[in-house]
Structure 1
């Protein structure tokens, strides 16, 4: 349920696509349908400033998943990290020689954009900031961020060594939210942080203002301008937004709020298939079964402009016949969704069961079955 304050704030927001003056770079995608709702200059490289910290957080999530890092693991702030980052830019005011948990550092990074927290986490987890940054770049490549590079864990100015694109930031947000929904809910969307006796507020322009908003990260330097990577969930839809290189914080905040509301207001979301509903069948070669049911692990939706009734087309694509063995839940095909003949999204389809390699008897039976009508 939205708070009265959030509802009051919402009435002042006019849904709109941001102007090129307010947000020279802008991207809005719907994770629920896989569709891009609006895109402007999304492959142009820019300096992400503190939005860099989203990759630091994602790298931490990956290491936690692999058992290389733990929320209650205690990190001691190294003297050189303290000397370099104490009081520099956004900070969680880590004391000298502080012993602080990974959990506390992640909250500091996500809520108050702590430069000292990001550096302390990087150094403490990897043994050096350089090793952590190398890991950030490996994770970026692994999820398909093909036009980005990181030179720091916190986005502090580094003579252009750190750069991203809006497309790549959306790829990062998608991977983080879809792989680690519980961690995302734990660490993003808090309005304030109290640490070391100091309470600070989050400068996220949409959380607490746009209903359903829960993050993700602002960024600003004089070189980079103002940017924001944000997300909100409402009525079964999850939107991810990037606005970047805005000339002022006011323009960035206005663009972010109106853009997100426009995404929810301008489209109707149609449910095509529920989660784990059979969508098609695929032929299987040398398997214990000759066919496998194809399902989507998540609901399949399509966005159409509000008040319109376009023709929605569906096409299953796979390279077949599939070869056994096939694991249950293995990605074996794609569902191509089109609206009025234009492809708008691709969703993965998985096998609904495991299929082992056929025995001799099963191969004979399958051979006869292919001759039956």
Structure 2
């Protein structure tokens, strides 16, 4: 059973809440701009919260946005030491540039020996379809195995509504993404691969005496500090863009899918990022030791464990509204051993205008093993008493953010 606060904590917080001054009337939440895209989302990198969006879980043809996942898989293999940036990849007929007429490519030729580093630059900057096949074959032996790796990573990241069938993004009936999933992937890329992500901000790449520019026009916009991520276009997908920018220590991720032109995907993304930085901020709530007191573990050794808030408890809120934000803490008071580190044992919910704006799991900071029977006899006596108290209808008052 999950109960909000424990009884002693309830009395403490109720007294605290009663002593607070009357809150001023909260301002209306900022209305997001009109975005001319079939689907779009704005996400905070720090908290992972969706600030605004439309059709965020609607499946859409991905085009070259698939290459973000392709480079993510390559980056993870580099990080694990399974491949190296200076590995030389022999270009097969499958990766021959002439296999991709009328589409973006590095202009690879059969038999060429090209480094993994050059190929990854060719995927990210030049959007080379031939380079994706060359990397897929080098990493996994053949494309089918690499695609399996792509989908395993997608599942691990929680990209529940996306599925990949090729490494380059050319139209395929069974391949699709969502705006939300692409924001999740981009957040993971920035977090997990800090040595690879900077490639996305390079404005050009030269290979074989052919210089190609980065198609992300926001990299040239001096009013925003955009440092990635990827454009995409096919007839089915329309013009799409995933972008990320940082301002005064705050990073936002914007995804627009299916706009009408390359200039439109750029202007709509800029509109979204500018609005987000103007009206939202990340905050890092602090909790006292009494609010996150050690939690009892029945029949456990130790008999209580310390807790932490997932993602460090960072939340994204409208600017100037911090004083109107309240929160409640909920614990599992029937928690039994064994308990693993990172196990969910409760949650924190933040409210604005009586609506939940953020929720974070409470996690076990340490493990608790099952205690020997002779050490758990006290719990056999006290647990029924605790369950009786926990079943009472406590009505905790939310605490105001300070």
- Aligned match of 1:304: 317
Deviation at 1:258, TM superposition (A): 1.7
User: Is the alpha carbon distance of 1:60 and 1:241 closer, same or farther for their aligned partners in structure 2, counting shifts above 3 Å?
Assistant: same
> 1:61, 1:350 → 2: CA distance?
29
TM-score where L is the length of structure 2: 0.77
Helix, strand or coil at the partner of 1:206:
helix
Matched, 1:77 2:91: yes
Matched, 1:19 2:34: yes
Conservation of the 8 A alpha-carbon contact between 2:91 and 2:134: yes
Matched, 1:234 2:247: yes
- Aligned match of 1:45: 59
Post-superposition Cα deviations, 1:154-193, rounded to whole Å, max 9, x if no partner, equal 11123x3322111222222233333x14244344322222
- Aligned match of 1:29: 43
- Aligned match of 2:141: 127
RMSD over aligned Cα atoms: 3.2
Post-superposition Cα deviations, 1:305-324, rounded to whole Å, max 9, x if no partner, equal 33345632323445454343
Q: Of the two, which has the highest radius of gyration?
A: 2
Unpaired runs of 5+ residues, structure 2, are: 1-29, 387-402
Deviation at 1:365, TM superposition (A): 7.1
Q: How does 1:1-373 map to 2 (within 5 A)?
A: 17-20=32-35, 22-82=36-96, 84-85=98-99, 88-158=102-172, 160-178=173-191, 180-209=192-221, 210-273=223-286, 279-296=292-309, 298-309=311-322, 311-317=324-330, 319-330=332-343, 332-359=345-372, 362-363=375-376
User: Is the alpha carbon distance of 1:80 and 1:268 closer, same or farther for their aligned partners in structure 2, counting shifts above 3 Å?
Assistant: closer
Conservation of the 8 A alpha-carbon contact between 2:97 and 2:108: no
Conservation of the 8 A alpha-carbon contact between 2:228 and 2:243: yes
User: Is the alpha carbon distance of 1:75 and 1:279 closer, same or farther for their aligned partners in structure 2, counting shifts above 3 Å?
Assistant: farther
Number of equivalent positions: 354
User: Is the alpha carbon distance of 1:307 and 1:51 closer, same or farther for their aligned partners in structure 2, counting shifts above 3 Å?
Assistant: same
Deviation at 1:153, TM superposition (A): 0.7
User: Is the alpha carbon distance of 1:369 and 1:106 closer, same or farther for their aligned partners in structure 2, counting shifts above 3 Å?
Assistant: farther
**Residues 330-339 or 216-225, more deviating:** 330-339
Unpaired runs of 5+ residues, structure 1, are: 1-14
